Each structure stands twice: as structure tokens, then as C-alpha cells.
Structure 1
């Protein structure tokens, strides 16, 4: 799979999607019956019932209780028609995988051991580690920092294999040239004018491992994101997008690194009629809410 099979994220016309392949922008239930008690001090107070009548009532209550418990037990065993659970634990305490498991269910294993700049590092040399790496790399490659030449060089060196970093750096630079940045309303350093905030933030929704070997892995990352320029005078308002990135990863120098990647649109849900936030609210949210270390 080649990294130039798909178009990137974000359009040249809208300040988002770009034609360049290297543009990433943009148990049992019990029933308790409480019988009414007489109140001799109240008007029309009840007289004590005769013993025989009390006995009949007590027997009746017991019969009702037994019937209710039996009915509840009948409904508790659904047999083979019961829907499978998404995850479970076997009798010996191990994971029960015979009834289906969610592909992105948390395992409880620490995802990383450190950070390389702003990007997580130290991913485990296993399937979980590969998925964690891919999710974090998707966030980095579709961030606002990728538009800033200095930060872009750092991101590329941290994310890609040494053999690919030089080649891809040149292609990224070509995609995010000064003309492209001008269309986004940014200067040549990738900064927005005073009073405006450029937004490009990605949130992985899930990951899927499509192949795995000791030294390589292919991982798909389904993402949603927001991109655009927040501010009163912005001509490129912040909007959202859904896309899927596919990463070819190699295990190099005790770390998962990207050898190549592709990107495609969707799958996207139906849009709602929720009222859009103001430009100031979006800009404030970006400043106040930090990102996450993404892990399976």
C-alpha cells in the first residue's frame, strides 16, 4: 500500500482538504409485601382481625412470594437465545474470547512509557502497541503543528522511519507551501493573524489491526476532527470531518514507526441540527481542553 493512493485531509478551496497525497489536513429477585397496619388512634381505626383470618392472609402472602420468585427465575435463563456479550471473564480468571470481543476494548496494559516531544513513545512490541502508536500518530499528522515548518520537521522525524523521513519531509513541504498556507489565512510560519486561531485537531474513534508480524503491522484508525480558523473575521470557519487513516508500521529501534500511510473519507454519521458554537467558543475550547494519549 502506498501513501499516495488517497487524497489528504482538508480542500484547497475551503482551506481544508488538499489534492496532495501528503496533506493530512484538516440473581433472583425477591418481592416484599408491606401490609397496612391499623392505627387505633385514627378516625375509623381498624379492629384486629381474627386469628383464622390472619392465618389465611399470611398463607396467601407466602404463596404470592413463591410464585413471584419462581416467575423471576424462569425469566432469568435465556438459554441459547441470549445475545452474546462483548467481553467476559472465564472461570479461571482469563479473558473469555468465545463470546466475542470489542476490537478496541481496553486491556488494562499501560499504553506507553514516555514521550518524544509532544508525541507519546515507548509503545509495546505487540498488537496493542501498534494500535496505540497508530492512533497517536494520526493525531500528530493532522494537528495544527504539521503546518508549521519547524514543528513539521520534528513530527516527521519522530513518526516516520529514518529511511522515509527525508523523502516525506520534502513532500510535506511541497504540499504545505506558502501558497497553501495563504489560502488558510496563515503566514509562512503557519500562524494565524492576531485575533484568530487556526484549529486542526483529531480524535481517533477506533482502531483496527488488519495485519501483524513481529516487525510490521498495518493499522486502520477511524477518526473525526475539527479544522478551520476561529475568529470573528475568519473566512474559513471551523467545521468537522470524518476520515480513516491506514498506517504501515515497522518495528525499528524498539519503537513502532510509520513507513507509509493512506487516507480516505468516512465513514461519517448523519449530521444533526445542533446549533453551531460561536468562533470565540471554539477558540476558547481549543485553548482550554488538552488532548489525550490515545491507546487501545
Structure 2
């Protein structure tokens, strides 16, 4: 069969039924498709641009951002004071702010007036650890003031002589200080306790045992120092007693750690350490 034998490729005029190029039953009429109306059987209605949906999405994102900012700036909420969120003996409690101001005053520059509660006991322990780890402990006069402020009167009286013996002239000399605990000119002596967390071991209405996990800084920063500033990780446990409307220490002990793996940050220069110590103050700690 030749190509001309196919219908529509012969020598004569093809019939209407034989014309396979016909668009309307072989009449060779051309259908012009106009824009479809709803319900057009030949196609779906063309959709307009979805500008309204994009606008709704943008407005939704803005509303969410405003809500998030408002929530972040909101003051202390009720969850912090809920009994379910209070620290339980032997367990770690939430450190979320409660909105309660736990320290109405100071004694010898140390926070005082803690509430008679688990939160108050933890705040007292953290702040007392800071005071007992400060540079003030290396001078006899300020040391006695600190002991009187954080210990019960009987405990402070018992501690002063042993503490004076511990902070001997030989001990101070090893740290680069003179017999009065003074720092050589051009140097900065560093001694800081930085609480990482607190834990209630025991709690009763008139007594508590609280542990403070902390990292410490100690050493001499300056030219020619043989005792550069270094870090330590320890846990300080305090036996507290409710005395004169405040928490006071009756006894304390320390253990090493827990200590994390040291980081890979290079040690700063003595000058940078001195500037940081002089430029960054300490904190009053509260749960």
C-alpha cells in the first residue's frame, strides 16, 4: 500500500467521513476557543493570581512574632511559684524566676534577709559561697566581717581562729600577696566563686542542707606572676539554720567536681584577665 492509498492522500477529493484532519465532523471548519466560562466542558476555569493568600501568610507571621516578643518580655509567671515546680529534697529544681524578690537587704556587703523557704535557702547558699570565695577572705578584718555575716554567731566565733591560721603569711606569700593580703602594684589578684547550680539535700522549717555546684577562679594576674589565674570545679555543701530571721551557716564542706572536659579556647593574656576582672562585677544570686 502506497502513501497515496491512505484516506485523504489519494488523487480525488476526500469525503467528509474520510478527512482525518477535519476538526468538526469533516467540514474543515476551525473552532476558536474563547476564554472559558464556569462549567466549560473543555477546561477548568482559569484561577486568578493568589495575592490574597500571600497577604494572609505575611500577616500571620507578623502576628506570631508580636506574640513571641510579648511572651518573652512578660514578667514572672505563676509556674515558678507552683508547688509542682518547687525543688524537692534530693532533686534538682527549676531555676525559672518566680517574681519574688528574695533579698531585701545586705550585711557587710553580702545579700541578707532571705525568705524561710527552699528558694530562700538556695539563694542564701549561693550568695554565701560567693562571699566565702571572694578576695575579702584574704584579709583578716574583712574575713571576720564575712564570717559574722554568713555564719551563726557561735559558728563564726569558733571559725575565726582556725581561719586566721589557714590564711597564714606563708600561704598568702605563695599566692603572691603580702602578710595583710594586699596585691603587689601592677598586679590583679583574682578569687571568685561562680555558682552553676544549687540543690536542696534536706529541708525543714528551721534547717536545710544545700549544695552549690560552682566553678572558681583564683590566681595572680600580672607581669612576672608565678601563680596565673586558673579554674576549679567544686561542690560546696552548707548546713543552714534559720536564725535571727535569716538563713545562717552552721557547718560546711567541699568536694571536687563535677568537672567538665576542658575547652579548646586558648588562655588569655594576663592583661586581658586583669581588665575582665576589673570590668565585670559579680552577681547577687537568687532562685
Specify if TM > 0.5: yes
**Could you say which residue in structure 1 is the equivalent of 2:84?**
97
State whether structure 2 residue 244 is matched by structure 1 residue 253. yes
* Matched residue SS, 1:219: strand
Asked if the contact 1:134/1:221 (under 8 Å) is kept, the reply is: yes
Q: Give the root-mean-square deviation of aligned CA atoms.
A: 2.9
Greater relative contact order structure (CA < 8 Å, 6+ sep): 1
Query: CA–CA distance in 1 between the matches of 2:81 and 2:214?
Result: 31
The Cα shift of 1:103 comes to 3.5
* Matched residue SS, 1:269: coil
Higher Cα Rg, which structure: 2
State whether structure 2 residue 194 is matched by structure 1 residue 203. yes
Structure 1 residues 49, 231: CA separation in 2 closer, same or farther (over 3 Å shift)? farther
State whether structure 2 residue 258 is matched by structure 1 residue 267. yes
Q: Which runs of 5+ in 2 are unaligned?
A: 1-33, 51-76
* Matched residue SS, 1:267: coil
Structure 1 residues 137, 96: CA separation in 2 closer, same or farther (over 3 Å shift)? closer
TM-score, normalised with respect to structure 1: 0.69
**Could you say which residue in structure 1 is the equivalent of 2:232?**
241
Q: Which runs of 5+ in 1 are unaligned?
A: 1-47, 62-87
The Cα shift of 1:241 comes to 1.1
Structure 1 residues 125, 89: CA separation in 2 closer, same or farther (over 3 Å shift)? closer
* Matched residue SS, 2:121: helix
The Cα shift of 1:119 comes to 0.3
**Could you say which residue in structure 2 is the equivalent of 1:79?**
none
The Cα shift of 1:278 comes to 0.8
The Cα shift of 1:56 comes to 6.4
**Could you say which residue in structure 2 is the equivalent of 1:142?**
133
State whether structure 2 residue 174 is matched by structure 1 residue 187. no
Structure 1 residues 181, 96: CA separation in 2 closer, same or farther (over 3 Å shift)? closer
**Could you say which residue in structure 2 is the equivalent of 1:55?**
45
The Cα shift of 1:50 comes to 3.9
Query: CA–CA distance in 2 between the matches of 1:184 and 1:95?
Result: 47
Asked if the contact 1:159/1:258 (under 8 Å) is kept, the reply is: yes
